[in-house]
């Protein structure tokens, strides 16, 4: 993920001050998913323990907030059409999309993703 996209993502999360950048842990990770599809993710970890992520999926930049997970990590986006969900445990990840509306079911977008 290039520097311009990283700055744009930080703006989405309100990370504007130089002091915040100095204390922010930013970890870029590239996963390779089924059929060789790349998944670029940047994880933003603040000193207060809060965490966010951003990823390039379906040709768009998606901002995600960390939410509770029983095992591994889980990040979710907030969108008017639905939410992207990034689940990761160890070196592996999956991305799904849950459309708005009670009858919608979660659809896997990218699976068998590995950062090894």
Q: What is the CATH number of domain 3-114?
A: 2.40.128.200
What pLDDT sits at residue 16?
Answer: 47
The helix (run of H) or strand (run of E) holding residue 99 is strand 92-99
On average, the pLDDT of the chain sits at 83
User: For residue 111, is pLDDT > 80?
Assistant: yes
Which pLDDT band, with edges at 50, 70 and 90, does 49 fall under? confident
Which pLDDT band, with edges at 50, 70 and 90, does 59 fall under? confident
Q: How far is 92 from 47, CA to CA, in rounded Å?
A: 25
Q: Where are the domains of the chain?
A: 3-114
Average pLDDT over residues 101-109: 81
Q: How far is 62 from 54, CA to CA, in rounded Å?
A: 5
């Amino acid at each position: 993920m290039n520097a311009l996209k990283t700055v744009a993502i930080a703006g989405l999360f309100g990370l504007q001050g130089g002091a915040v950048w100095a204390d922010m842990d930013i970890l870029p990770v590239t996963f390779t998913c089924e059929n060789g599809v790349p998944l670029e993710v940047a994880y933003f970890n603040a000193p207060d323990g809060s965490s966010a992520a951003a990823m390039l999926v379906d040709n768009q930049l998606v901002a995600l907030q960390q939410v509770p997970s029983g095992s591994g990590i889980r990040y979710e986006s907030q969108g008017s059409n639905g939410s992207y969900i990034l689940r990761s445990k160890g070196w592996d990840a999956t991305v799904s999309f849950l459309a708005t509306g009670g009858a919608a079911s979660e659809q896997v977008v990218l699976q068998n993703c590995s950062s090894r």
